[in-house]
Amino acid sequence: MDNCLYCKNKEKLDSLMLYIADLRVSKLYLFKEQTYFGRCVIAYKEHAVELVELTSQNAALLMEDMRQVGMAVQKTVNPAKVNYGMYSDTLPHLHVHIVPKQAGGHTFGSTFEMSVNPPKYLADQEYAELIAKIKTNL
């Protein structure tokens, strides 16, 4: 936990993501890398590594946070599909990637890529507009 991205490493977190909002049991962030336009992550507010560590109630609340963000992302970017991924092999903190995918877009029909080369970044104003739309649709 000493080096946890979400608990202790704000500088690194801020280099990768932009904070959007606090939800029931998680925090919502927008990835700066936007190959998948509208890609977000929710991170459990307290330090946990595995879903099984949560109480049944908090696990249900996390699922509701995922659902709420998925609906907001759908309304905001109108994807063909929203993918959800929970990976923590090398980043030991419970978090969920919420990745909108467009038909014919990058890796449509297969698993989304965590790191895309070359990465796609937006202008500051574009991030601000996207975050405002997601917040409106939460």
| Number of domains forming the structure of the chain | 1
pTM, to two decimals: 0.96
Report pLDDT for 6: 94
Assigned domain for 2 exists: no
Average pLDDT over residues 11-18: 96
Q: Please, are residues 29 and 18 in contact by the beta-carbon 8 Å criterion? A: yes
Q: What is the CATH number of the domain that holds 120?
A: 3.30.428.10
Closest Cα partner for 80 from 51, 37, 113? 37
Query: In Å, how far from its chain's centre is CA 9?
Result: 17
Assigned domain for 60 exists: yes
Confidence of residue 90 (pLDDT cuts 50, 70, 90): confident
Which residue range forms the structural domain that includes residue 108? 10-137
Confidence of residue 74 (pLDDT cuts 50, 70, 90): very high
Diameter of the chain by CA atoms?
41
